[in-house]
Amino acid sequence: MTSRALCMDKLNILLVEDNPDDQLLAIRAFEQVDKKNKVVVVEDGEQALDYLYGQEATGAQTDRASRLGIILLDIKLPKLNGLEVLKAVRQHPETQWMPVIMFTSSDEPAEMLEAYRLGANSYIKKPLDYKQFVNQMDVLAKYWLKLNKVPGECLNS
């Protein structure tokens, strides 16, 4: 497998979203943009951190975080909210550089400010209209998964 193929395999999307309708819309939108990028869905903040840093049955840390291109993170989540997840992501050496896009229905200025203060790369309010939603996913996927470069072996591809 070439380093370019390895790079393409790493561009999974972690969608942290508790609303099943928004999950489905996001998955459909990303599939319309590019079927190569797998969308992994978790429904709360604890599941997100477990996915990123959890221990396998063998006791070895997972390498799931190394296969991600972006994290789409809702703010209003059960168990741990999106801002708490963002803080944990920025404190962990393996993910501190990873693009995190806050994708939320919240347009509260205090939450937006806190998200950027904690290191969010972008803050996008979910549109109610499906066509606008798909358009946002298209732009988001093209920029963050195709144009944007991140540290690691994909940088020199």
Per-residue pLDDT of the chain (157 residues; tens, 9 = 90+): 333 334 544 578 999 999 998 898 888 887 777 777 789 999 999 999 999 988 544 445 566 777 788 999 999 999 999 999 999 999 998 889 899 999 998 889 999 999 999 999 999 998 888 888 888 888 888 888 778 877 654 544 4
89 lies in some domain: yes
- Predicted local distance difference test score (pLDDT) of residue 14: 94
- Predicted local distance difference test score (pLDDT) of residue 156: 41
Domain count of the fold of the chain? 1
pTM for this entry: 0.84
The CATH number of the domain holding residue 38 is: 3.40.50.2300
153 lies in some domain: no
156 lies in some domain: no
- Predicted local distance difference test score (pLDDT) of residue 20: 93
Which tokens go with 32?
């319309």
- Predicted local distance difference test score (pLDDT) of residue 10: 53
Which tokens go with 53?
């840093």
- Predicted local distance difference test score (pLDDT) of residue 128: 85
Name the strands in the sheet holding 122-125, side by side, starting at the edge strand that comes first in the sequence.
39-42, 12-16, 68-73, 100-104, 122-125
- Structural domain containing residue 105: 3-145
101 lies in some domain: yes
- Predicted local distance difference test score (pLDDT) of residue 9: 46
- Predicted local distance difference test score (pLDDT) of residue 153: 44
Count CA atoms closer than 13 A to 44's CA, side-chain side. Answer: 5
